[in-house]
Amino acid sequence: MSTGKEQLDTEDDFIPVEADDAEPVVEVAKTNLSKRRTIDNLLEERRLQKQLADYDFDL
């Protein structure tokens, strides 16, 4: 157990995390958005094909 009066050793050569390290998170969001758009486009195409199949051309 620690008594709270002990001196804690700290590392002087600590390097803070740069903002550049956050870019992969942005890439993941772009990838997810791209996948979502692809899914939306496929669903829209399926909906339009169904409408076209149901359309009465003999008007």
pLDDT at 13: 67
The token pair at 48 is 């339009």
More confident residue, 58 or 11: 58
pLDDT at 7: 67
CB atoms within 10 A of CB 51: 9
Per-residue pLDDT of 26-58, as tens digits, reads 578 888 999 999 999 999 999 999 999 998 877
**Residue 5 predicted with pLDDT over 80:** no
Domain boundaries, the chain: 27-59
Bin 2: left if φ > 0, else alpha if -120 < ψ < 50, else beta.
Answer: beta
pTM over 0.85: no
Number of residues written out for the chain:
59
Average pLDDT rounded to a whole number, residues 15-21: 59
